[in-house]
Amino acid sequence: MHNYQNILVAVDFSTHSEQALSRAKQLADIYSADLQVLHVTEMPTYPVLEDIAITGLPGIWSDEVADKLQQATLKRLVSMAEKEGIPSSACEIVVGVAKQDIVKHAEQMKADLIVVGRRGVSMIQRLIGSTADSILHTASCDVLAVNLGDNE
Ligand code: AMP
């Protein structure tokens, strides 16, 4: 039997990822594995030319706004994790692109299992290709996509 030792769970605050968090904690307890909880903050982008998009919203998006957003997001992540009995030290947020940075983070921490929700908050993602599907195709470790059974 395989013993998972390093588990990464990706949280986007959807009910699916809440379920993923709970499942990841159960698995971490069963395997006595290290558990890390990751949220990726995706900055807004806007098109300037047909092929070029710029990150941020000029006049609205500043470093100060970004800092405040990150602090509030971390607080929310920690509170969600603590409800599951996961310490704040296991929580991390990074700025980037979820489907890429979750896999990158998993590689850095040598994760042997990534746990995600089958769906997330983004409706657009379903049209352009979901985060869960992309992780499943690019990760070099096992991926568990937790399904709430509401295949709407
Ligand atoms: P999606 O494929 O975007 O509908 O999301 C599926 C799952 O991927 C979510 O339930 C989360 O577990 C994870 N996920 C999506 N976006 C993010 C994000 N920005 N940060 C962390 N996890 C994410």
Q: Residue with the nearest Cα to atom 7 of ligand 1?
A: 117
The residue ranges of every structural domain in the chain are 6-146
CB of 77 within 6 A of ligand 1: the answer is no
Side-by-side strand order, sheet with 91-95: 91-95, 34-41, 6-10, 113-117, 142-146
Q: What is the pLDDT of residues 84-113, one digit of tens each?
A: 999 999 999 998 999 999 999 999 999 999
CB of 101 within 6 A of ligand 1: the answer is no
Residue 142: predicted pLDDT: 97
Residue 63: predicted pLDDT: 75
Instruction: Give, in words, the CATH class of 6-146.
Output: alpha beta
The model's pTM: 0.88
Residue 47: predicted pLDDT: 61
Residue 18: predicted pLDDT: 95
Spans of the chain below 70 pLDDT:
44-61, 122-129, 150-152
In the chain, DSSP finds a helix count (H) and a strand count (E) of 5, 7
Using a 10 angstrom Cβ sphere, with 0-12 exposed, 13-18 middle and 19 or more buried, the burial of residue 79 is exposed
Q: Residue with the nearest Cα to atom 17 of ligand 1?
A: 12
In total, the chain counts a number of residues equal to 152
The residue type found at 3 is: N
Residue 152: predicted pLDDT: 47
Residue 151: predicted pLDDT: 57
The residue type found at 57 is: L
